[in-house]
Amino acid sequence: MQKAINPIEEMYESKPRRWWFYTLVILIVAVILGWSANAIKFKGLAAKGSEVAYGIVFGITHPDTSLLFNATKDGVVYMLFETVAIAVLGTLIGGLLAVPFSFLASENIMPKWAAFLFRAFILLIRTIPSLVWALVWIRVTGPGAFCGVVTQSVCSIGMISKMYINAIEDLDTRILESLDAAGCTRFQKIRYGILPQLYANFVSTLIYRFDINIKDATTLGIVGAGGIGAALIQCINSRRWSMVGAFLFGMIVLMLVIELFSTKVRKRLARG
Amino acid sequence: MAKMKTQKPVRPPLFDRIFPPRILSVGDHSVQKPRSRGWLIALVVIAAVWGSVVVTEFNLGIIVKRGHQFTVILAKIFNPDWSYFSNVLSPLLDTIKMSVMGSVIGSTLALPFAVVASANINRSGAAVAILRVLLNVVRTLPTLVIASICALIFGLGTFAGTVAITVFTFGIVSKMLYESIETIDMGAFEAMEALGASKFQAFWSAVFPQILPTYLSHCLYSFEINIRAASILGYVGAGGLGILINERVGWRDYEGLGTVLIALFAVVLLIENTSQYLRRKLS
């Protein structure tokens, strides 16, 4: 029998060999990939496809400045403002609506079965794409920015509640016991025991969702729910590339600024 | 050390210079208590809400008056038409295939870009900054807009959708990845470089094993998101369930829409649970 020469080699010899596991994983991935690849056939460029590609590049390098710096209701600036307005209201209302849902779906407050039911409901809200929500709400509110607000209020509930629930389930309940011992009333317990623990987390969630909602609001316009999306898609379909360039330019700048701001605020909130 | 760092006096924030902090003193000890910023934040929020209400023509009355319309549609959606299911199956599989391919290609492309964009591996600050701005720009483009442009370039169908999902995945995976590369332990990398290994060799055997589980976890996470994102791409002609959603809503066939949504819900539930199980195993 051969003895191991030194501890390093000994460790090396004794490392687990799970080649069959890796082979299995690779096989499964390969099968899934092969199955998916058959649906994705590259049929070459569409008729005038290269013209479109050239148009995009041209549009982004030559944005329509008269549209970009136009302060009237048809200009990029006003449309971006409308998009932001939709996201502000949608996020705030969604955040408020999510509070009761998330308390009802937290396992440390509600019995397990009830929490599970509310969780399933929240998942259902989250699964339905926001575009579908908008298509349904448009029957109620009619086209326009108001439809976008209602849509975002509803579909923000899904993700916001999910994050709220995590915060609520991490609550330190020992604080409540000590407040009890100090003779605090129920209201005082909520004010000094629960709110300070949740506040930073909730605000951080809201700002994160605001970031997502801004991006979402730019596409809601495609179905007629206000914001910049409607005009953008029209310009793409009628191939007015320099206008497309102006819209994209405005959107990119807006979203970079908002993201910068939101990361900064969230970092400060996390530090306390 | 020869040179001592001179401590620069910290300049208080603008708010504290306008409203100087109150000084509370007990005996000969005193503390500065900054004034509450609450009212300023409240003012900003109220102004933002008021502005938004005006711009969006927010009107709760409409919802109260016409809310029953919504419940009518919801009732139809939750009463799905099962005979329609045979039409749903093929676009549903298309959606899954699009997101599988998009996730795989996108996250493979993201790997080299993320490595070059991490400040602890790439020492050139300017290159990192430029690359990050580019990655940020890619991330700001909405998937639907990319999909509609791709549909014009590559023709209608699943290929355009796959390209859109690829771009989207590339954006988020590369960002999550360079953020996690920056938190790893660089000791092994430096030791290998000191022993004379090339940058690539050092990366391959010292950094890659550390980031591999996180990388796979990010890929699975993006796949979870992609299923939902891919389901609406058909709305602009990029293949998958979106085509059906567009068509059913156009015909006001909400029972059929219900079938589509329930099939999507089942698939999302299955994939999210599988992927969350795998991600727990990875961490």
**pTM, whole model, 2 decimals?**
0.84
Query: Taking residues A150-157, what's their average pLDDT?
Result: 92
Is residue B266 one of the residues assigned to a domain?
A: yes
The pLDDT assigned to A272 comes to: 62
CATH number at residue B234: 1.10.3720.10
Tell me whether residues B149 and A52 touch, CB distance under 8 A.
yes
| pLDDT confidence tier of residue B113, bands split at 50, 70 and 90 | very high
The pLDDT assigned to B2 comes to: 47
- The alpha-carbon gap from B183 to the nearest alpha carbon of chain A, in Å, equals 16
| CA B68 from centre of chain | 34
Domain count, chain B: 2
Average pLDDT over all residues of chain B: 87
One domain, residues B174 and B271? yes
Is residue A12 one of the residues assigned to a domain?
A: no
Q: Which domain holds residue A256?
A: 49-271
Tell me whether residues A81 and B55 touch, CB distance under 8 A.
yes
Give CA–CA dist B164/A152, Å, rounded.
Answer: 23
B266 touches chain A (CB under 8 A): no
- Location of structure tokens 């509110």: A141
One domain, residues B220 and B151? yes
Find the range with the poorest average confidence among A158-162, A218-222, B95-99: A218-222
One domain, residues B147 and B244? yes
Residue type at A34 in one-letter notation: G
The pLDDT assigned to B43 comes to: 92
- The alpha-carbon gap from B56 to the nearest alpha carbon of chain A, in Å, equals 5
CB pairs under 8 A between A and B: 168
Query: Taking residues B170-177, what's their average pLDDT?
Result: 93
Q: Which of B23, B53, B74 is the last residue of a domain?
A: B74
Mutate to test the interface with B, among A43, A73, A135, A241 (most CBs of B within 10 A): A135
Dig out the tokens for A19 from the structure.
């080649």
| pLDDT confidence tier of residue A85, bands split at 50, 70 and 90 | very high
Contacts of B92 in chain A (CB under 8 A): none
One domain, residues B155 and B65? no
| pLDDT confidence tier of residue B22, bands split at 50, 70 and 90 | confident
One domain, residues B63 and B160? no
Is residue A104 one of the residues assigned to a domain?
A: yes
Give CA–CA dist A53/B156, Å, rounded.
Answer: 15
Q: What percentage of chain B reaches a pLDDT higher than 90? A: 25
Is residue A21 one of the residues assigned to a domain?
A: no
Q: Is the pLDDT of residue A1 over 80?
A: no
Q: Is the pLDDT of residue A149 over 50?
A: yes
Is residue B10 one of the residues assigned to a domain?
A: no
- The alpha-carbon gap from B139 to the nearest alpha carbon of chain A, in Å, equals 9
One domain, residues B118 and B198? yes
Is residue B27 one of the residues assigned to a domain?
A: no
The pLDDT assigned to B281 comes to: 86
Query: Taking residues A240-250, what's their average pLDDT?
Result: 88
| H or E element that contains B70 | helix B60-77
Give CA–CA dist A58/A63, Å, rounded.
Answer: 8
Q: How many residues comprise chain B?
A: 283
Q: Is the pLDDT of residue A214 over 70?
A: yes
Q: Is the pLDDT of residue B5 over 60?
A: no
Q: What percentage of chain A reaches a pLDDT higher than 90? A: 22
One domain, residues B143 and B70? no
Dig out the tokens for B72 from the structure.
């009518």
- The alpha-carbon gap from B187 to the nearest alpha carbon of chain A, in Å, equals 19
Find the range with the poorest average confidence among A215-219, A233-237, B23-27: B23-27
Query: Taking residues A223-251, what's their average pLDDT?
Result: 86
Domain count, chain A: 1
Q: Which domain holds residue B179?
A: 81-282
Give CA–CA dist A126/A163, Å, rounded.
Answer: 12
Is residue A26 one of the residues assigned to a domain?
A: no
Tell me whether residues B149 and A236 touch, CB distance under 8 A.
yes
One domain, residues B43 and B85? no
pLDDT digits (tens, 9 = 90+) for A5-60: 677 777 777 777 778 888 898 899 899 888 888 767 777 676 677 888 888 888 87
Q: Is A183 exposed, middle or buried (0-12, 13-18, 19+ CB in 10 A)?
A: exposed
Q: Is the pLDDT of residue B156 over 90?
A: no
Closest CA to B251 of A135, A124, A133: A135
Which chain A residue is nearest to residue B90, measuring alpha carbons? Answer: A39
Mutate to test the interface with A, among B105, B145, B179 (most CBs of A within 10 A): B145
- The alpha-carbon gap from A1 to the nearest alpha carbon of chain B, in Å, equals 32
CATH number at residue A208: 1.10.3720.10
Q: Which of B16, B47, B74 is the last residue of a domain?
A: B74
Alpha helices by DSSP H, listed for B182-251, are 187-194, 199-202, 208-233, 241-250
Is residue A17 one of the residues assigned to a domain?
A: no
One domain, residues B119 and B201? yes
Q: Is the pLDDT of residue B55 over 50?
A: yes
One domain, residues B175 and B209? yes
Which chain B residue is nearest to residue A82, measuring alpha carbons? Answer: B55
Q: Which of B56, B66, B101 sits opposite A86 (nearest CB)?
A: B56
Give CA–CA dist A31/A12, Å, rounded.
Answer: 32
pLDDT digits (tens, 9 = 90+) for A33-45: 888 887 677 776 7
The pLDDT assigned to B102 comes to: 92
pLDDT digits (tens, 9 = 90+) for B115-144: 899 888 888 889 999 999 999 999 888 888
Find the range with the poorest average confidence among A5-19, A217-231, B197-211: A5-19
- The alpha-carbon gap from A160 to the nearest alpha carbon of chain B, in Å, equals 16
Is residue B108 one of the residues assigned to a domain?
A: yes
Contact criterion met (CB below 8 Å) for B232 and B244: no
Contact criterion met (CB below 8 Å) for B106 and B100: no
> How many alpha carbons lie under 13 Å from residue B40 in its C-beta half-sphere?
8
The pLDDT assigned to A96 comes to: 94
Q: What percentage of chain B reaches a pLDDT higher than 70? A: 97
The pLDDT assigned to B166 comes to: 94
Q: Which residue has the higher pLDDT, B162 or A63?
A: B162
Q: Which of B55, B69, B268 sits opposite A82 (nearest CB)?
A: B55
Q: Which of B77, B143, B153 sits opposite A45 (nearest CB)?
A: B153
Is residue A218 one of the residues assigned to a domain?
A: yes
pLDDT digits (tens, 9 = 90+) for B74-96: 888 888 888 888 888 889 998 99
Q: Is the pLDDT of residue B46 over 90?
A: yes
| pLDDT confidence tier of residue B1, bands split at 50, 70 and 90 | very low
Tell me whether residues B153 and A53 touch, CB distance under 8 A.
yes
Q: Which of B46, B74, B102 is the last residue of a domain?
A: B74
